Amino acid sequence: MRSALSLAVALFASLACTSTPKGEQAARSPAAGGQDGGGSELRGVVVPVEPAALALWPEAYAGELVVLEALPHGTLVAQDDVVARLDPRALEQQLADARLELDSARVEHAGLVAKNDVAGEAAASQLARTEAGLDRARRALAGFEAVERAFERRSDALALLREQDGVDDQLDELAQLEAMYAADELVDATEEIVLKRSRRRLARARAWNELSQDQRDHRVELSDALELESRREDVAREEEGLAHLRATAAVEARARAGAEARSAADLAQKETRLARLERDRELLTLRAPRAGVLLHGSARDLRSGGAPKRVERGGTLAARADVLLVADPARLAVALDVPESQRAGLADGAAVTVRPLALSGVELRGTLALAALPAVAKGEEGAFEATVALDGTAPGLVCGMHVVVAAAGARR
């Protein structure tokens, strides 16, 4: 049964969508009007109704679409039959390049993330050290103001008491010696020596006490004040350094995050491109979306009435354009152009007759659908695109045949 069906299909396909001689293609100019002058004849071409178009819409592939093999124009096909295969070599090369670029991008992204992690940890460590330094400076300042200066004041007070005690002791000793010498317990020479030494030690002690007091006063007035200022400057310097470090760390963190985001976006873009190229590989095998007759070219090509561009081995296909059609051979219509000079004699929805040039004695009826505005040029005037919906069909009527369209009732 399969071979019988294939034979019937081949016989039918041999008649389907054949091109007309060049002379007939040129004969699509308006024909003479009917004998009564009330109608006009126009040339049209049989076209399929609502054919399924096959077009190549690659997502990422930008190379040539070279045909390796294709079924002939007019072949009857079943749904999902392979109707054409394209050369995959250029696409496979782009896929290999895309994989290498993706692998490289992944390595670079991983390295950038690791580098950013190390830099972030270093910045956090430096920030922690700076914060600790500021804390030490603040504690040192607080200790100096609240404790060390108090210790110094207490030390000064004790030193002053010790110095006063020393002077008092020497005064007591001198008074005792004077009292002893007054009682003539020693000879005059001895008395003079001892008193002289005591008075000298007393004078030296008083002088040292005055010097110590002056030193203490100087330290309190200047040295302690300078030490306090220095410690406060240390705190201010640590605070400024910490603020600057925090600002710098924030800027660097944003820069690292931005670089990482850009790297991730680039990686995602390469992943997307690879996925799109892999999906584009499926386009290299064209399958019939439905059962019907395979037609080369686009619906616009068929409407023009000329020979459609053949899809053949070694040829190239245009991207994002219909290159093949699969049509129901039983659903046919007529496409024609109505020149402006003949527009007045026809109306949208008018009944017309259709006479195929290749089928003698066959006349079909249909309804005219006329565009509202001129869309094509017809010599020196414009033309309205029109379609005739046929009320029926006839044996041997196939797409691509040229026909004569006339208003119903017009005499020939």
- 3-state secondary structure string across 238-275: HHHHHHHHHHHHHHHHHHHHHHHHHHHHHHHHHHHHHH
Sheet of strand 67-70: strand arrangement: 67-70, 82-86, 285-287
Q: The domain 2-53+73-79+328-407 is classified under which CATH number: 3.90.1200.10, 3.30.300.30, 2.40.30.170, 2.60.120.200?
A: 2.40.30.170
Q: What is the CATH number of domain 99-257?
A: 1.10.287
Q: In tens digits, what is the pLDDT along the chain, a chain of 412 residues? A: 333 334 333 434 443 444 333 333 333 333 333 333 345 789 999 999 999 999 999 999 999 999 999 999 999 999 999 999 999 999 999 999 999 999 999 999 999 999 999 999 999 999 999 999 989 989 988 888 887 777 777 787 877 777 787 778 778 777 777 777 676 655 566 667 777 777 777 777 787 878 777 777 777 777 778 888 888 899 999 999 999 999 999 999 999 999 999 999 999 999 999 999 999 999 999 999 999 999 999 999 898 887 778 999 999 999 999 999 999 999 999 999 999 888 887 889 999 999 999 999 999 999 999 998 888 776 778 899 999 999 999 999 999 999 999 988 655 5
C-alpha 145/C-alpha 197 separation (Å) is 44
Helix (H, G, I), strand (E, B) or coil at 322: strand
C-alpha 178/C-alpha 195 separation (Å) is 7
Asked if 208 and 163 touch (Cβ cutoff 8 Å), the reply is yes
Helix (H, G, I), strand (E, B) or coil at 194: helix
Asked if 265 and 164 touch (Cβ cutoff 8 Å), the reply is no
Going by C-alpha positions, the residue among 412, 405, 351 that lies closest to residue 44 is 405
Note whether 2-53+73-79+328-407 and 99-257 share their fold: no
Question: In 72-206, at which residue ranges do the beta strands (DSSP E only) sit?
Answer: 76-77, 82-86
Domain extents in the chain: 2-53+73-79+328-407, 99-257
Helix or strand run (H / E) with residue 307: none
What's the pLDDT score for residue 189?
61
Structure confidence by residue, pLDDT tens digits, 157-193: 877 777 787 778 778 777 777 777 676 655 566 667 7
Asked if 94 and 277 touch (Cβ cutoff 8 Å), the reply is yes
303-306, Cβ contacts within 8 angstroms, sequence gap of 24 or more = 303/45, 303/47, 303/335, 304/45, 305/20, 305/25, 305/28, 305/43, 305/44, 305/45, 305/402, 306/19, 306/25
Against a cut of 0.85, is the pTM above it? no
Going by C-alpha positions, the residue among 310, 325, 275, 289 that lies closest to residue 53 is 325
Residue 195 structure tokens: 């008193």
What's the pLDDT score for residue 187?
57
